[in-house]
Structure 1
Amino acid sequence: MFLTEDLSHYKLYDLSCEFFTSFKCSRGLCSRRSQSCRLSLNVAVDKGMSCSHYPYLYFLEKTGLKVGPGRIQWCTTVVNSYFQKIVRYNPNFWRRWFALGVWVTCLMLPVAVYLVASTTVSNLWKKNQLDNHNLSPSLEPMIPGVNLPLGDLNYYLSAIAISSVVHEAGHAFAAQREGVQVSGFGFCIFLILPAAYVLLSSNQVQALPSCRSLRISTAGVWHNTVLSLLAYATVILMPHFVSPFYSQGTGVYVVGFSEDSPLRGSTGFYHGDIIVNVNNNCDVKNKLDWKQCISDTLSENNERLGFCIGINFLLENTSPTAFKDLLADSTNCCPNYKSEHLCFTTTFPEDIVKQVSDLDRTLLKKNCLPARKVIEESGISCRTHTSCPSSKPLCIHPLLANDTHLLAIRRTTEEPNQPKLVIFLGHPAEIWWGVQVSDFIPRFRFISLFASRLPDISLLLMKYIAILSSGLALINMLPIFMFDGQYIITDILLYFLIRFISRDVVEKIAKLLLISCSILFIACLVSYLF
């Protein structure tokens, strides 16, 4: 079944199509001779669609949706009246506001061009030099999965959407202020990237003097700059905003776990635990300390921390070990005992060495000891026996495989009958990825799990908005094709040079600058990718 156009009647030769169209007309939704019906039918005829596609086309037409290869668009005119009402409320404010945006953009434009040029030179220089140390400022595209964690993809897309909406709203407000008609405000998703857009009357914009059209072309950059500054200020002031409900600087707050984390539950952490120390020698006050403590543990592959204990404790708690296991070069000197026992090696002070026989030293060289009891009894970390007090003169080290570490993590917990120490045996990276922590510790117990993460969620979103909004402003102010800079550079040159040279010459100069900067921008991208 296909729709066929008849110029006199727009007949539908198929009965089902005739019934559908008659039903629509009888409901008053459209007339067969109305412009909207003719448009939908013509589109269907041109595309060779069957009548079954008509409801789909009608739905898209009425809702403002457009669906194409890899993209979905939505456009509406509902918000046009709001743009008009807002700019009419205080016209003088908006005139000064967008005039300030023009000056800020003009001052930032040379900086943006310099950053692109310096980044291009820097990337090319690094590829030709062995020494890659470079302290000059440079640009770097943010690519999820490459230099951004995929787990932050939702923040990344949200920040792009917010920055894009604010950018296009700036153009819409400025256009209404200058008397240019706004035909619609839309939103588009290309693949997975969201973007907003605004439809303006190009004839009206071109008819404006350069100073007025410049306010429109720079409005998006200006709004992105302001948004970036506000987001950055929020990041700085966030601890003060939430201080009535959250405290900081006394540890990190456990807010969640990865799906396969070995540190969840009765042998590990609970939601609401506060981590305060690692291995008795590294205090944890915030997430940076937490990361540093774990990194320090990873850097101790050849010199692991030991624990100071007394001689009596060693003799009383050492479990029997086969003599052949003591002499063997093995990390397992207690194979017949429970998993809480580990093999430890002992270093002796000189005065103790003289007091024991060779056989006793052999027996005490490797010891099968309960790990938790050792750590709780010790309370003091050591490298050698020289850092141990006289009351606990022995420094014992766990005998472990190269990638395995013994960590004692001290925490405060509200769970009943749970120890203050969490003993972890494994690779420290499992702790970093398996336990999710926050700098913000709730002051009140009624704060829910989501509310306990709210400051971190807000903080991370604001960081992404600050970065991406400033990046969007920088890219759009560059004099390159397909961006706002294409119109900004033309309006700037017309404003300053039209009194001295003809318009045609000014436009040729603007086109030359556009071509040069576009080539430079492409070279910057290529130098980064290749």
Structure 2
Amino acid sequence: MEYIAVFIAAIFPGGLVAFDNDVLQSLPSFNALRIYCAGIWHNAVLCALCVFALFLLPVMLSPFYKHGESLTVSDVPSVSPLFGYLSPGDVIVSLDGIQVHKPSEWLELAAILDKQNSETSNSSLYLGGSRRFHHGKGYCVPISLIEEGLKGNMVENQFVCPGDLTAFRTMPCSNAALREVSVCLDAKDIVKLSKCGDGWVTTSDTDSKSDCVCPQGESCLQAMQSPGVSWTEITYKRTSSQNCSRLGLDFTTSNCLGTFVFVGDLIAMSHSVHLTAYQPRWLFNFFGKSFPNILERSLTCTFHVSLALVLLNSLPVYYLDGESILESSLQSFTWLSPRKKKKALQVCLVGGSLLSFLAFFRIFLVGLPLSRRW
């Protein structure tokens, strides 16, 4: 051994060991191969430890955090469309009435709702210009509230409402023989009403919201939106007070619950907010609300970096461990002459280096957006 070096690449520590080449050449091929594979082996072990730690992380943090019971907001960037509506520490209860417990469920449900919106957009009823309302998502609005609502104006074949009011119209249901109504209502009040229509994603095949039937004295209305946008309800719970953060609090009776409607690109919205499946068991947690998310991301990042180093150092490329591993492996082929071994080594290294270069070129350059290319 000639020397040992320790370094830090960005935030990741590393090390290397330099051996006397003459001593290595005198060792049996299998012993030399074990030495050359030591770095790859340690990176592989680190990958396995990260996977094991991620698997046991909910158990290790269980004395301080609940996991999988609710979806907690860890951060809302200023560029997010949910900025100002959600705050770090808020608990997302449901998306369009469907409860979500993990970030993966949040993304999957958003994709399902977006796909449903795209599929129904072709069969939506257009109301002149670019305005339409989607089949399915309606609310049972009392007739008295409809009569008190403001009447909008038709501007360039579009139904426009004053202020922050939203345009609603009766749903075109075959079993709803009611006159068509267009009215401007406050969406904050409408989302608190009972739902109707078949556009709501449910967990049951037999759900009372699967038709346009409303109780007597109510009518099934639906919001009119522009093409390419989704009308999605987000129900959340504030955890800024002791009462709202207690365990076992009933969501249906809590005064901490709030609901707002997101109108826009659902996929972009779902990726714009940082969520975690961990929720502190107490309001004032010593580790903080974002600690599990930071720890989980650190383990995931370490796993990816270690896995990348395993794959990189295993490649038959010049000046990497793969070159020495390949050379030691060829020594075990005793039926090959030294000349053929050297030729096979050169062919493999040239081919491996060329293929690796093309692969990295495709990943890091061709895969970049046009705006980021030189």
TM over 0.5: yes
**Is 1:244 paired with 2:75?**
no
Instruction: Determine if contact 1:254/1:270 at 8 Å carries over to the other structure.
Output: yes
Secondary structure class of the residue paired with 2:57:
helix
How far 1:306 sits from its partner (Å)? Answer: 2.4
Q: What is the percentage of aligned positions where both structures have the same residue?
A: 24
Tell me whether 406-415 or 483-492 shows the greater mean CA deviation: 406-415
Relative to structure 1, the CA distance from residue 490 to residue 279 in structure 2 (aligned partners, 3 Å threshold; closer, same or farther) is: closer
Give the structure with higher Rg (CA): 1
Tell me whether 306-315 or 383-392 shows the greater mean CA deviation: 383-392
How far 1:346 sits from its partner (Å)? Answer: 0.4
In structure 2, the partner of 1:184 is: 4
How far 1:348 sits from its partner (Å)? Answer: 6.1
C-alpha distance after superposition, 1:9-62 (max 9, x if no partner): xxxxxxxxxxxxxxxxxxxxxxxxxxxxxxxxxxxxxxxxxxxxxxxxxxxxxx
In structure 2, the partner of 1:511 is: 346
Instruction: Determine if contact 2:168/2:183 at 8 Å carries over to the other structure.
Output: yes
Query: Scaled by the length of structure 1, what TM-score is found?
Result: 0.54
Counterparts in 2 of 1:459-478, with a 5 A limit? 459-478=296-315
Counterparts in 2 of 1:74-85, with a 5 A limit? none
Q: Write the letter of the residue equivalent to 2:149.
A: T
Tell me whether 223-232 or 390-399 shows the greater mean CA deviation: 390-399
In structure 2, the partner of 1:272 is: 89
How far 1:494 sits from its partner (Å)? Answer: 2.1
Q: Write the letter of the residue equivalent to 2:270.
A: W
Relative to structure 1, the CA distance from residue 350 to residue 261 in structure 2 (aligned partners, 3 Å threshold; closer, same or farther) is: closer
How far 1:524 sits from its partner (Å)? Answer: 4.4
- Partner Cα separation in structure 2 for residue 419 and residue 514 of structure 1: 63
1:347 paired residue among 171, 187, 190: 171
Secondary structure class of the residue paired with 1:402:
coil
Secondary structure class of the residue paired with 1:331:
strand
- Partner Cα separation in structure 1 for residue 80 and residue 360 of structure 2: 39
In structure 2, the partner of 1:374 is: 190
Structure 1 gap segments, 5+ residues each: 1-180
Relative to structure 1, the CA distance from residue 489 to residue 389 in structure 2 (aligned partners, 3 Å threshold; closer, same or farther) is: same
C-alpha distance after superposition, 1:93-136 (max 9, x if no partner): xxxxxxxxxxxxxxxxxxxxxxxxxxxxxxxxxxxxxxxxxxxx
**Is 1:439 paired with 2:277?**
yes
Relative to structure 1, the CA distance from residue 221 to residue 316 in structure 2 (aligned partners, 3 Å threshold; closer, same or farther) is: same
- Partner Cα separation in structure 2 for residue 311 and residue 391 of structure 1: 9
Counterparts in 2 of 1:116-131, with a 5 A limit? none
Secondary structure class of the residue paired with 2:158:
coil
Instruction: Determine if contact 1:250/1:276 at 8 Å carries over to the other structure.
Output: no
Alignment length (residue pairs)? 328
- Partner Cα separation in structure 2 for residue 455 and residue 415 of structure 1: 19
Relative to structure 1, the CA distance from residue 397 to residue 296 in structure 2 (aligned partners, 3 Å threshold; closer, same or farther) is: farther
- Partner Cα separation in structure 1 for residue 280 and residue 196 of structure 2: 31
* Greater share of residues in strand: 2
Relative to structure 1, the CA distance from residue 313 to residue 289 in structure 2 (aligned partners, 3 Å threshold; closer, same or farther) is: farther
Q: Write the letter of the residue equivalent to 2:24.
A: V
Relative to structure 1, the CA distance from residue 440 to residue 188 in structure 2 (aligned partners, 3 Å threshold; closer, same or farther) is: closer
- Partner Cα separation in structure 1 for residue 4 and residue 108 of structure 2: 51
C-alpha distance after superposition, 1:356-385 (max 9, x if no partner): 7xxxx3xx5201112111111225564499
Counterparts in 2 of 1:74-473, with a 5 A limit? 181-187=1-7, 196-265=15-84, 268-280=85-97, 282-299=98-115, 300-301=117-118, 302=121, 304=134, 305-319=136-150, 321=151, 325=153, 329-332=157-160, 334-335=161-162, 338-339=163-164, 341-347=165-171, 353=177, 361=179, 364-380=180-196, 382-383=198-199, 387-391=211-215, 394-415=219-240, 419-429=257-267, 431-447=269-285, 451-473=288-310
- Partner Cα separation in structure 1 for residue 268 and residue 321 of structure 2: 46
Relative to structure 1, the CA distance from residue 470 to residue 443 in structure 2 (aligned partners, 3 Å threshold; closer, same or farther) is: same
Query: Scaled by the length of structure 2, what TM-score is found?
Result: 0.73
How far 1:456 sits from its partner (Å)? Answer: 2.3
How far 1:525 sits from its partner (Å)? Answer: 4.5
In structure 2, the partner of 1:158 is: none
- Partner Cα separation in structure 1 for residue 330 and residue 38 of structure 2: 17
Q: Write the letter of the residue equivalent to 1:511.
A: Q
Q: Write the letter of the residue equivalent to 1:331.
A: F
- Partner Cα separation in structure 2 for residue 291 and residue 234 of structure 1: 24
How far 1:237 sits from its partner (Å)? Answer: 2.6
- Partner Cα separation in structure 2 for residue 327 and residue 205 of structure 1: 84
How far 1:208 sits from its partner (Å)? Answer: 2.8
Instruction: Determine if contact 1:310/1:391 at 8 Å carries over to the other structure.
Output: no
- Partner Cα separation in structure 2 for residue 470 and residue 348 of structure 1: 55
In structure 2, the partner of 1:98 is: none
Q: Write the letter of the residue equivalent to 1:270.
A: S
C-alpha distance after superposition, 1:303-328 (max 9, x if no partner): 53522315434445422x26xx3798
Secondary structure class of the residue paired with 1:471:
helix
* Greater share of residues in helix: 1
- Partner Cα separation in structure 2 for residue 307 and residue 316 of structure 1: 18
How far 1:350 sits from its partner (Å)? Answer: 6.1
Instruction: Determine if contact 1:410/1:420 at 8 Å carries over to the other structure.
Output: yes
Secondary structure class of the residue paired with 2:225:
coil
Q: Write the letter of the residue equivalent to 1:395.
A: C
Instruction: Determine if contact 2:96/2:233 at 8 Å carries over to the other structure.
Output: yes
Instruction: Determine if contact 2:107/2:271 at 8 Å carries over to the other structure.
Output: no
Secondary structure class of the residue paired with 1:233:
helix
How far 1:349 sits from its partner (Å)? Answer: 5.8
Aligned residues: CA RMSD:
3.4
Structure 2 gap segments, 5+ residues each: 125-133, 201-208, 242-254, 367-374
Q: Write the letter of the residue equivalent to 2:56.
A: L
- Partner Cα separation in structure 2 for residue 522 and residue 326 of structure 1: 61
Instruction: Determine if contact 1:331/1:400 at 8 Å carries over to the other structure.
Output: no
